[in-house]
Structure 1
Amino acid sequence: MVTELVMQNPVVGTVISARRDLAALCRLMAHFGLDDITSTHLSVLVPERPGHYLLNPYGMMLAEVTPGDAVEVDADGTIVDPGNGWPLNKTAIVIHGAVHRARPEVGAAIHAHTHAGIAVGALPEGLLPMSQWSMKFVERTAYHDYDGAARAGGLGEAIAQDLGAANVVMLLRNHGTLAVGDDAAAAFIRLYYLEQACKSQLMLGARGADALMLPPPAMQKRAGFEQNQGTLDHRRDFLPVGHREWPALLRLLDRTQPGWDA
């Protein structure tokens, strides 16, 4: 199993580990109900191959994806390793290619279509800093107005431009969400908690920001900064965003989906 290896070093840095990370992302998205049949797409950078990234195949449910199914694409969007031979979603190449070109430090990106993410993205005010979950994204949330299915390169570049240089999540209005991170662990944790933040906001119904108890702006900013630094335990062991949770999430897959990393 991959769990023991990742617990020692969550970011192993090999092509094999990148393929496992992509498969883990796919399986976790499905496990937590964050998938959209075959339309969700995810990417993970390939170590030591500048500009190359892996994408999940088009036509497979995320709960089916294994490391061998991952498709490797170069910076120009050309398939260099077809994995097990499945096709790719054109939109995935357009969006993820543009994001990775614009933000070379992004090690993984997830684009999802979820009920809560789409609903909050359709609100004029967008995501409100009303929960500790949502404060993870204070001054780190981008927005992109709906411009149709991103099947042309220009639309991908527009999404990357709106994402900016420092934002870690995006609400694509009337469309879905996007989360990025230094690695698969960070990207998944951000996507997961973005969805949690959106769900809690929707529980308020039609109440706007003026009707809520919100922390002062300075506290919102502080919370966002602290929560994007990582986690600290009682021994003062520090781990980057997502690395505290990632081994536990892989153990979850080992228990519930034996053979996911075969």
Structure 2
Amino acid sequence: MAVERDTGHPVAEGIARARREMAALCRLMAHFGLDDITSTHLSVLVPGRPGHYLLNPYGMMLGEVRPGDAVEVDAAGGIVDPGNGWPLNRTAIVIHGAVHRARPEVGAAIHAHTQAGIAVGAMPAGLLPLSQWALKFHGLTASHDYDGAARGGGLGEAIARDLGTRNLVMLMRNHGTLAVGADAPAAFIRLYYLEQACRAQLLLGARTADDLVLPPPPLRDRAAVEQNQGTMDHRQDFLPVGHREWPALLRLLDRTQPGWDV
């Protein structure tokens, strides 16, 4: 196994941190019921190695993944570091590779197959601005029509093209959802709250926007900006999206899954 450990070297430290973040993402997805047996896939950029990213192994449930299991892939889709030797989902290479090539600022991406995300994605109107959760994604939600399993033939590029240059999440119709962020905390918190927003919408049944009390358009726009600026506490301590929650989420893993990061 060619896993690089924290040795005091900046690049090695960055790689070790990325591997830990990958394991944390996998464990958190499983903890909150956002996984799909072995079919969910996630990526985290490898610091100091342009174009390289980590993917979770194919065949492992997300609740099993440890830092050393992640597989490092280069910009061309070649395996650089096999981790503990598990294979990769070809679809994961196609989708995540295309997203990272098209959006270099994206440090992490999560593609999920959740019941609520799939159900809302199949609705013509998509995600409605009916909750504060949903307002996080107002004007920042892409959609992509179903085109089968993305195993090649430009399908990854089509997904990246539909994601666009500024959208934060995507409803992949009849398939699942996609969330991106500057880093692992941002990607996870967006995927988590996208799912919460979809679940809330489904509780309303078949109602349309005309049947609901929704914030007026100017307020929707303002809320989207506010919700994506990060958080500030009473001390004026500002943290980027996901960074307020991330330490608490890691403590959750420490309590419920001791040794997850070994």
- The corresponding residue for 2:199 is 199
Poorly superposed stretches of 4+, deviation over 6 Å: none
User: CA separation of 1:13/1:184 partners in 2, compared to 1, >3 Å: closer, same or farther?
Assistant: farther
Coordinate RMSD, CA, aligned: 0.9
- The corresponding residue for 1:35 is 35
- Structure 1 Cα separation of the partners of residues 153 and 193 of structure 2: 29
Whichever residue aligns with residue 76 of structure 2, its letter is: D
- Structure 1 Cα separation of the partners of residues 235 and 219 of structure 2: 26
Tell me whether 1:143 sits opposite 2:156 in the alignment.
no
Ranges in structure 2 where 5+ consecutive residues have no aligned partner: 1-11
SS at match of 1:143: strand
- Structure 2 Cα separation of the partners of residues 64 and 95 of structure 1: 23
- The corresponding residue for 1:69 is 69
Ranges in structure 1 where 5+ consecutive residues have no aligned partner: 1-11
Whichever residue aligns with residue 246 of structure 1, its letter is: W
Tell me whether 1:124 sits opposite 2:142 in the alignment.
no
- Structure 1 Cα separation of the partners of residues 225 and 93 of structure 2: 31
Alignment deviations for residues 80-106 of structure 1 (CA, whole Å, 9 cap, x no partner): 000000000000000000000000000
- Structure 1 Cα separation of the partners of residues 260 and 99 of structure 2: 27
SS at match of 1:214: coil
Q: Mapping of 1:87-106 within 5 angstroms?
A: 87-106=87-106
- The corresponding residue for 1:86 is 86
Tell me whether 1:175 sits opposite 2:175 in the alignment.
yes
- Structure 1 Cα separation of the partners of residues 37 and 204 of structure 2: 28
Does the Cα contact within 8 Å between 1:51 and 1:101 map onto a contact in 2? Answer: yes
Alignment deviations for residues 201-221 of structure 1 (CA, whole Å, 9 cap, x no partner): 000001000000000100000
Return the offset for 1:153.
4.5
Return the offset for 1:13.
6.7
Larger relative contact order (CA 8 Å, sep ≥ 6): 1
How many residue pairs are counted as aligned between the two chains? 251
Whichever residue aligns with residue 25 of structure 1, its letter is: L
Identity of aligned residues (%): 81
Whichever residue aligns with residue 257 of structure 1, its letter is: Q
SS at match of 1:14: helix
Q: Normalising by the residue count of structure 2, what TM-score does the alignment of the two structures yield?
A: 0.95
- Structure 1 Cα separation of the partners of residues 97 and 106 of structure 2: 11
SS at match of 2:154: helix
